[in-house]
Amino acid sequence: MEGLRLALFFILASSCFSSLYAAEDAVEVFVKGVTSIAKTDDNFICATLDWWPSEKCDYNQCPWEKAGILNLDLNNKILANAIKAFDPLRIRIGGSLQDQVVYQVGDAIKKFPHFKKQGDGLFGFSRGSLPMDRWDQLNALFSQANAKITFGLNALLGKRKSDNSTLWVGDWNSNNARDFMKYTASKGYKIDSYELGNELCASGVSARLEADQYAKDIVQLKEILKDLYPDRQTQPKLLGPAGFFESEWFKTFLEVSGPQVVDGVTHHIYNLGAGVDKTLINKVQDPYFLDEIAETFKDLENVIKEFGPWAGPWVGESGGAYNSGGKDVSHTFVNGFWYLDQLGMTATFNHKVYCRQALIGGNYGLLNTTSFIPNPDYYGALLWHRLMGKTVLGTSHFGSPYLRTYTHCSKQKPGITMLIINMSNSTSFDVSVINDVNKYPHSYKMTVNGPNKREEYHLTPKDGNIQSDVVLLNGTPLQLTSSQDIPPLNPKIVDSSSPIRVAPDSIVYVTIRDFKAPACA
């Protein structure tokens, strides 16, 4: 009898222990399909290419190797295939050193320097230059791989340092930029947009400009665009100010530059702190910490509504952790909790584009810096690009804050696609999607469990290790094909009558074709 009691005790203890570490929660997620809450650009996903030379080092590491614009292997087949898979991928060319780059064309510049380590230079480097044969090679890749290009221009030419150590004054000398843009247009290279300067707004980073002077400079750039591209249909868009948001600076910039000058208001986000931060892995899994940045997205959206309604907000650069990202976190599966959550969050605040730092380079590249093999966030971004349309729907639930949900109308297909992020390492969720089809609260709501099938894409880390560089799709590792192509991303087909099972430490895209959302009509 005593043995039976002991056996029962251990069975009960085991059950309690199991439920503690493998808890299951049923959650209803409400989707308001009657009206949209925001719209993104058709090509919301964007990645950057940066100017950093191999000598860019932080925290006793040099993670850029040959991934900069001037030394990247443009003939690498994986690179071309990774870009081509998006069809198209939006790429922003720019970064910290762009305001020290001159262009080897025309006669406005007499000497063409090369980037070298220099203690008193901006960001510790001398000025550098872009040869036109390298620009030709870059455009050959962009054309082959069907990329949409944003090019960041040097905004400091012609300016001088004031007595203040970071403030630069004087008018922008646009001659070299004009020669470069004229060459680009004459070659027929397709530029989607030009951006002026990098992180010069508000308090700046290594240099700064006053808002009214920057506005004056960007108006000058607009006139150059009108002259070089008189056909409004083919005229590249104009973006700025490409730095960290500060309300009064941005208001002044938009007021002084005036209507119909900038098409996109770009700001940068590095809300995770320094790449060397030992708490980085905790931050990317903390929903309360991740929510703190939402106020910035909302404030910029409101400033644009009031002072620049002709423009849309863009995240022009975001790597999460600055100074090249965290070497044990930013390229691994767990970083997707921060990255994909920010994609969902910024879309709800009407941001049109989100540019990830970087396509390749540093610790935060979507591609491995040396092998070019895609990191987990590459596949998360590719699935977003293929599945999530530009119309954003209100989505909410009353469950755990570690369960994050975002919904868009599906891309080029009927129904909706939902992004579900489970940051909990111990709880799985059974998600039922509720179609809130009425405009008014407390009205009839319909559970989506019809006879049709739904498509599910479950992303999980290899061996359950959230710091793995290998991601599984529906249990199968995503690996390049024998011809170095991006593998097919096929869904799991599931009966719509069952809840969506979301495992701990997982990311799920779900497409529901029979979801009746008038906003998606």
* Stretch 7-12: mean pLDDT: 38
Confidence of residue 163 (pLDDT cuts 50, 70, 90): confident
Q: Fill in the DSSP letter of residue 488.
A: P
Specify whether the CB–CB gap between 329 and 321 falls below 8 A: yes
pLDDT in tens, 320-370: 999 999 999 999 999 999 999 999 999 999 999 999 999 999 999 999 999
Give the model's pLDDT for residue 346.
98
Percent of the chain at pLDDT exceeding 90: 91
Confidence of residue 9 (pLDDT cuts 50, 70, 90): very low
Cα separation, 483 vs 306, in Å, equals 51
Residue among 195, 301, 317, 456 flagged as catalytic:
317
Give the model's pLDDT for residue 447.
52
* Stretch 168-180: mean pLDDT: 98
Question: Which residue type is seen at 217?
Answer: D
Give the model's pLDDT for residue 37.
98
- The residue with greater pLDDT, 450 or 256, is 256
From residue 152, how far is each of 79, 80, 156, 199, 388 by CA, in Å?
21, 22, 12, 11, 27
Q: Is 28 a catalytic residue?
A: no
Look up tokens 């699935």; give the residue. 383
pLDDT in tens, 290-312: 999 999 999 999 999 999 999 99
Confidence of residue 11 (pLDDT cuts 50, 70, 90): very low
Please say if the pLDDT value at position 15 is more than 90: no
Confidence of residue 34 (pLDDT cuts 50, 70, 90): very high
Cβ contacts of 320 within 8 Å, gap of 6 or more: 270, 271, 272, 284, 330, 335, 338, 339, 364
Specify whether the CB–CB gap between 330 and 275 falls below 8 A: yes
Give the model's pLDDT for residue 192.
98
Specify whether the CB–CB gap between 298 and 342 falls below 8 A: no
The mean pLDDT value of the chain amounts to 94
Residue among 199, 210, 301, 455 flagged as catalytic:
199
Terminal C-alpha separation, the chain: 68
Question: Which residue type is seen at 405?
Answer: T
* Stretch 414-420: mean pLDDT: 97
Percent of the chain at pLDDT exceeding 70: 93
pLDDT in tens, 229-264: 999 999 999 999 999 999 999 999 999 999 999 999
* Stretch 150-163: mean pLDDT: 96
Confidence of residue 111 (pLDDT cuts 50, 70, 90): very high
Question: Which stretch of 86-95, 232-241, 359-368, 433-442 has the lowest confidence by average pLDDT?
Answer: 433-442
Please say if the pLDDT value at position 382 is more than 70: yes
Cα separation, 117 vs 521, in Å, equals 56
Give the model's pLDDT for residue 68.
98
Residue 355 β-bridge partners = 46
Please say if the pLDDT value at position 446 is more than 60: no
Confidence of residue 210 (pLDDT cuts 50, 70, 90): very high
pLDDT in tens, 471-504: 999 999 999 999 999 999 999 999 988 999 999 9
Cα separation, 320 vs 423, in Å, equals 17
Question: What's the 3-state SS for 355-386?
Answer: EECCCECCCCCCECCCCCCECHHHHHHHHHHH
Please say if the pLDDT value at position 469 is more than 50: yes
Give the model's pLDDT for residue 23.
85
Q: Is 306 a catalytic residue?
A: no
